[in-house]
Protein backbone atom coordinates (compact mmCIF):
# COMPACT_ATOMS: atom_id res chain seq x y z
CA UNK A 1 0.00 0.00 0.00
CA UNK A 2 1.44 3.35 -1.01
CA UNK A 3 0.38 6.74 0.25
CA UNK A 4 1.88 8.57 -2.75
CA UNK A 5 0.51 8.02 -6.27
CA UNK A 6 2.95 6.17 -8.50
CA UNK A 7 3.21 8.97 -11.05
CA UNK A 8 4.39 11.44 -8.39
CA UNK A 9 7.09 9.06 -7.23
CA UNK A 10 8.19 8.53 -10.83
CA UNK A 11 8.42 12.29 -11.45
CA UNK A 12 10.46 12.84 -8.28
CA UNK A 13 12.99 10.17 -9.11
CA UNK A 14 13.64 11.81 -12.47
CA UNK A 15 14.43 15.16 -10.82
CA UNK A 16 17.73 14.92 -8.96
CA UNK A 17 17.00 17.80 -6.55
CA UNK A 18 14.19 15.83 -4.84
CA UNK A 19 16.09 12.57 -4.39
CA UNK A 20 16.43 12.93 -0.57
CA UNK A 21 12.72 13.74 -0.25
CA UNK A 22 11.87 10.75 -2.43
CA UNK A 23 13.96 8.49 -0.20
CA UNK A 24 12.23 9.86 2.88
CA UNK A 25 8.80 9.21 1.35
CA UNK A 26 9.79 5.63 0.50
CA UNK A 27 10.86 5.07 4.11
CA UNK A 28 7.59 6.51 5.46
CA UNK A 29 5.65 4.28 3.03
CA UNK A 30 7.60 1.27 4.24
CA UNK A 31 6.84 2.09 7.89
CA UNK A 32 3.11 2.55 7.22
CA UNK A 33 2.99 -0.67 5.21
CA UNK A 34 4.63 -2.66 8.00
CA UNK A 35 2.37 -1.10 10.62
CA UNK A 36 -0.80 -1.81 8.65
CA UNK A 37 0.27 -5.43 8.04
CA UNK A 38 1.07 -6.17 11.71
CA UNK A 39 0.00 -3.25 13.94
CA UNK A 40 0.73 -4.96 17.27
CA UNK A 41 4.12 -6.40 16.36
CA UNK A 42 5.93 -3.10 16.76
CA UNK A 43 8.28 -3.02 19.77
CA UNK A 44 6.79 0.31 20.96
CA UNK A 45 3.53 -1.48 21.75
CA UNK A 46 5.39 -3.75 24.18
CA UNK A 47 3.93 -7.03 22.90
CA UNK A 48 6.95 -8.48 21.13
CA UNK A 49 9.85 -7.08 23.13
CA UNK A 50 10.82 -7.62 26.77
CA UNK A 51 10.33 -4.84 29.29
CA UNK A 52 13.55 -3.18 30.46
CA UNK A 53 13.67 -0.90 33.48
CA UNK A 54 15.52 2.42 33.30
CA UNK A 55 18.92 2.42 34.99
CA UNK A 56 21.18 4.99 36.61
CA UNK A 57 24.78 3.89 37.19
CA UNK A 58 27.06 6.02 39.34
CA UNK A 59 30.64 5.43 40.44
CA UNK A 60 32.18 6.83 43.61
CA UNK A 61 35.65 6.34 45.07
CA UNK A 62 34.54 3.31 47.06
CA UNK A 63 31.50 1.82 45.26
CA UNK A 64 29.36 1.44 42.16
CA UNK A 65 25.70 2.42 42.63
CA UNK A 66 23.01 1.08 40.28
CA UNK A 67 19.43 2.34 40.56
CA UNK A 68 16.72 0.57 38.56
CA UNK A 69 13.11 1.72 38.20
CA UNK A 70 11.01 -1.41 38.69
CA UNK A 71 7.51 -0.22 39.62
CA UNK A 72 5.03 -3.01 40.19
CA UNK A 73 7.75 -5.64 40.67
CA UNK A 74 7.77 -7.29 44.07
CA UNK A 75 11.19 -7.59 45.75
CA UNK A 76 10.77 -11.40 45.83
CA UNK A 77 10.48 -11.41 42.01
CA UNK A 78 13.87 -9.69 41.49
CA UNK A 79 17.08 -11.68 40.96
CA UNK A 80 20.49 -10.06 41.39
CA UNK A 81 23.81 -11.72 40.66
CA UNK A 82 27.42 -10.78 39.97
CA UNK A 83 29.38 -12.97 37.56
CA UNK A 84 32.92 -11.77 36.99
CA UNK A 85 32.62 -8.06 36.26
CA UNK A 86 28.97 -8.19 35.17
CA UNK A 87 25.98 -7.32 37.34
CA UNK A 88 22.82 -9.13 36.22
CA UNK A 89 19.40 -7.81 37.21
CA UNK A 90 16.39 -9.85 36.19
CA UNK A 91 12.84 -10.29 37.31
CA UNK A 92 9.21 -10.48 36.43
CA UNK A 93 6.34 -8.03 36.81
CA UNK A 94 2.98 -9.58 37.65
CA UNK A 95 0.14 -7.17 38.35
CA UNK A 96 -3.57 -7.83 38.40
CA UNK A 97 -6.20 -5.26 39.25
CA UNK A 98 -9.90 -5.86 39.52
CA UNK A 99 -12.57 -3.35 40.48
CA UNK A 100 -16.29 -3.83 40.87
CA UNK A 101 -18.93 -1.28 41.61
CA UNK A 102 -22.32 -0.07 40.42
CA UNK A 103 -22.71 -3.03 38.08
CA UNK A 104 -19.36 -2.36 36.36
CA UNK A 105 -16.47 -4.77 36.47
CA UNK A 106 -13.01 -3.64 35.43
CA UNK A 107 -10.04 -5.97 35.27
CA UNK A 108 -6.47 -5.33 34.05
CA UNK A 109 -3.35 -7.44 34.03
CA UNK A 110 0.19 -6.31 33.34
CA UNK A 111 3.13 -8.65 33.15
CA UNK A 112 6.56 -8.93 31.63
CA UNK A 113 10.04 -10.09 32.40
CA UNK A 114 13.28 -8.16 32.18
CA UNK A 115 17.01 -8.85 32.19
CA UNK A 116 19.71 -6.20 32.31
CA UNK A 117 23.46 -6.82 32.29
CA UNK A 118 25.74 -4.02 33.47
CA UNK A 119 29.49 -4.20 32.87
CA UNK A 120 31.40 -3.24 35.97
CA UNK A 121 34.95 -1.90 36.16
CA UNK A 122 37.77 -4.09 37.40
CA UNK A 123 38.39 -4.11 41.12
CA UNK A 124 34.90 -4.68 42.51
CA UNK A 125 34.31 -6.79 45.59
CA UNK A 126 31.59 -9.31 44.64
CA UNK A 127 31.22 -10.30 48.31
CA UNK A 128 30.22 -6.75 49.27
CA UNK A 129 26.97 -6.25 47.34
CA UNK A 130 23.84 -4.85 48.96
CA UNK A 131 20.39 -4.28 47.49
CA UNK A 132 17.58 -2.08 48.75
CA UNK A 133 14.04 -1.73 47.36
CA UNK A 134 11.85 1.30 48.15
CA UNK A 135 8.88 2.80 46.31
CA UNK A 136 9.51 0.90 43.07
CA UNK A 137 13.22 1.73 42.91
CA UNK A 138 15.90 -0.93 43.37
CA UNK A 139 19.29 0.35 44.55
CA UNK A 140 22.28 -1.98 44.28
CA UNK A 141 25.60 -0.97 45.85
CA UNK A 142 28.73 -2.86 44.86
CA UNK A 143 31.80 -2.05 46.95
CA UNK A 144 35.19 -1.65 45.33
CA UNK A 145 38.07 -3.64 46.71
CA UNK A 146 40.55 -1.62 48.80
CA UNK A 147 43.19 -2.14 46.11
CA UNK A 148 40.95 -0.42 43.55
CA UNK A 149 40.46 2.72 45.65
CA UNK A 150 42.26 5.78 44.30
CA UNK A 151 45.51 6.60 46.03
CA UNK A 152 46.85 10.10 46.51
CA UNK A 153 50.38 10.47 45.22
CA UNK A 154 52.37 13.22 46.90
CA UNK A 155 54.26 15.61 44.66
CA UNK A 156 57.80 16.48 45.69
CA UNK A 157 59.66 19.57 44.66
CA UNK A 158 63.03 19.09 42.98
CA UNK A 159 65.85 21.67 43.03
- DSSP assignment of 114-149 equals EEEEEE--SSEEEEEEEEEEETTEEEEEEEEPGGGS
- 8 Å CB contact between 64 and 142: yes
Least confident span in 11-15, 23-27, 69-73, 138-142: 11-15
- The whole-angstrom separation of Cα 43 and Cα 45 is 5
What is the Cα–Cα distance from 62 to 123, expressed in whole angstroms? 10
The per-residue pLDDT for range 119-133, each reduced to its tens digit, is: 998 888 888 999 999
pLDDT at residue 3 tops 90: no
Q: What is the number of residues in the chain?
A: 159
CA distance 115 to 97: 25
Helix (H) or strand (E) holding 113: strand 104-119
Q: Give pTM, 2 decimals.
A: 0.58
pLDDT in tens, 52-61: 888 999 998 8
Residue 37 binned pLDDT confidence (cut-offs 50, 70, 90): low
Amino acid sequence: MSLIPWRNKHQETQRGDLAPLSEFRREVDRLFDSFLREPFAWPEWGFSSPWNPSLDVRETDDAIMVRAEVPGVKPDDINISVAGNVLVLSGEKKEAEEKQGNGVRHSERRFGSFRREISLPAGIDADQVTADYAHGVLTVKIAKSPEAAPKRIPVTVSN
